[in-house]
Structure 1
Amino acid sequence: MEKNKGKITKTKREEQLLEQIKNLYIGFRKNYIKMYYNKGMAKAKYHRPTWALHDNQILAHIRQKETIGIFAGQIFSKFICFDVDSPELKLSKHTTKALVVLLNHDYNISLDDIHVSFSGKKGYHVEIFLDEFIESNKMEHFYFDVLNNLGKLSEKVEIELRPLHTVGLKLPLSIHKQTNKYCHFVDNQTLRKKTDSENYFLSIEPMSKYYFEIEVLPDSKKINQVQFLNDDEKIESKKIINNINYKIDIESETKAILLVLKNKHLLYPNSRHNFCFKASIFLKEQGHDIAGTIGIMTDVLENTFKHHREMIDKSTTQEFALSELARIVKNTYDKNYIWGQTSKEIKIYKDELKEVLNINTNGKSLHLKKLALSTLIQSKRYASQNGIFYMPYSTMTKMGNTGSRGRLLQYLLYLEEIGFLEVVSRNEQTEGTYKKKANRYKVNISQEDGDEFIVLDLNSLEKYDFKDYIVALFTIDEAKEILTKSQFYDLGLAKLYKL
């Protein structure tokens, strides 16, 4: 009779929590675990029901009638959990805080993407959720690398990888059967209890899988040993490490993005999500604001739907694709995703800087030299194989040039006139719309190697001032010879060379 009662009625809040648990945690339903505890037992235990995980079991967990856990798939997973446990809560807290700091500082993971919950007894779950499935062996690789970098732990502390295909993970937001304590979320720095765990849980946005793969996962070639694991674990971790090589070539990715932007439509089937994420980082780094980035990428998607519909899954509507685009772009800007550690090395050579410094015209030469150097750096960083790159005015200003669009246009026109810069397209209107595309340029000077150069830190380009390049590559006599007297002193070079 019980089976014929029909669907269980859910409140709006329960429906929201159910969907968020499914979205963040559930990727494998064939098996799950239930927690149970009876008086006289030394500790709570788990058993596996013989049936698959159903939404009703998740709902019972949300209502705190059951406490369930889930497994990872054999090949893919949606998230990673570092299960921190010890006999002493104080020791678990200390280890959890250290782990969060390591993930944030050493792996460049935003604190917004690190979620910590109390296990219900004397431990914590530190979790990172992804917006797409990822190979489980990559998560194992990441786990071993993190533990290696965390250093030797107290013998009383364990940090276990969860979920596995063979070992489950208890979900949060229910009751630990032995302690009768609620498994709540905590602040990931202080570990203080969140005032409303359910609202916090509903606010979680998963991290981009593409960013995780590009910027977070360690390079397998750089890992030589796992210092503190036992012999069996060392062997297992090295197997995982040695069999993975998945780093993405950022230079080729950038060229692929430029090609899509040039053609104004997706070039490969089922590449929409990939393009949206990577192009949003690319355009953000070039200085576009959120609205500008969404506008440029909207043109690509709309044109794809109109003229190349076969490139996007039939079940995906244009309305859904554009709403997803807005979400992805906002997330990229909110969490400040960057290419960072995998970007190609950029060098500015002495002969290149000499050519920049030789640019001269009445009254504006210093401003022109600064802008010319900015375009050279942008070209080295983003130009496609044919030397063409995008550069909005906002990027020029961010790199230390004037904020006046009118003056920037004058300087660009002069650089074009003397042949330093070629303007490939300016104020070009996107077909069928009133929208303008970003201008495209090409630097027309020989970019040859030499013995004297400066290597740029791509994560801190804003810290470089024009004079820094001069002092780094020229002696004081060379600088005086190539610059006018007023330029030399206006830049404060006399004081810098004395230092």
Structure 2
Amino acid sequence: MEQPNKQLIKKINELYIQTRYKYLVQFKDGKYVTLTHNNKNKVTKLNDSMLRTHLKGDITYGIFSGGHFNKFITFDVDCKENPTARWATLKLVNVIVEDFGIKRSDIHVSFSGSKGYHIDIFFDKPILVTDLMSFYKSVIATVGEIPDGQIEFRATSTQGVKLPLGVHQKTGNRCWFVDNQTLEPIENYDYLLEVEPISAEIITENDFGLTDEQVSEFERVAASTDITVNAVDLSQALQNAAQIIETGRLIQSGTRHKTTFTLACFGNTQGWDEAETVSVIMDILLATPREYFSEGSTPDYWQKEAERLVSYVFEKDISITSSDKPLVIYKSEILAVLSCGTFRQKQLAYAMLITSKRYGDIFYLTIGTAMKMIGTTSRTTVTSAVKKLIEVGFIKYHRKAEVDRARSLEIGQVRYKPNKYRLAIEKPTEGENSVEVNADHDIIEVALMLCDISEIRKHVKRREFDNRWKPRVS
């Protein structure tokens, strides 16, 4: 049997290693201990010599994510019996292929060494762990319940995962990669050398980006908010919120409390949930230099304050006003919307049209908000709709996969700016038919106000028309 070489160790570094300061070591009883390197102890950072020892089977190591980011995802199939684990693993692989469009050749399965399996997918750039977790939850929801077992998400900053190709210290079994259709072991170290990461866009496309025009407009006014009212002035809070999110950190010292409250209101207005809003706030605070905070201020305190203020804002339903001013929709715009494929895709196109009119041609919209706008619980539905809207020319990228160099240098990890999208449809012509709409008007109502039935039927399949439109015509 061939022994591990330098190329294999280099490949493990490229595919798996995101941090060397914290790692797992497995003992003979099968249990793990976490070791963390710092300047005050003698713990060695994870290095190539240790990886070589792992591959030889003498000591088994595991790894953690790089904090907020990771460049792979592992689905850890853990069942009481191996036959159940095999069934769950094969079902999971098929779901990822058939329901999420990832090629079978890009899904890499390895034996855990006991009764389970690890399913790995590698990406060409680090991805937010929160985005990977959202992908994981969508997959697991599709897979359904696993009898006498579970499929766990790995790796995070607190939950590590054992590296493949080593030896399970309790069972003595080698953790080979296996064929992802038969689960037969591939007893060759070189399997890993042929693995290539896939595009991170499979995950990151789920986020719509921020707007240069919007931020430019928002920079004019510094926020000043009053938590005794339940409507924050748009010209202040929204402007400051967008600038802070775009900058990725506090923009003035001594503004932690005000910023936390402003972003809580912004999150509530945008349709985020409480956990997501707290996460955005903490991400910004943790990326801010410590001199921006008062002496003795700690991240634990920021977290508690963020949770308290977000809870208060959501309980009182404090939002940013002026988000439902009447808007003008033109006939050419609604015809462009009707040309966007399925009804869900039309709905998202209409939601984007409204959002662009409210916040500018280049707009910011989270996947959660998009899901609420079109009445779906499926992230995949939204992702597919975005791809379709780009394909038919309704929207296009304004910024895509751009590295935030300043923040990356500050936190020592690659950080990407949110993707940006802009409408790509033609501007309405002078004198074109139009109507004023508000939040109560949906796509069907607006279309019927601007178009006759024959025009609508040109863009709507018979089944859709009978189910969605016909009941509203009479």
What TM-score, normalized by structure 1, do the two folds share?
A: 0.43
Structure showing greater radius of gyration is 1
What TM-score, normalized by structure 2, do the two folds share?
A: 0.45
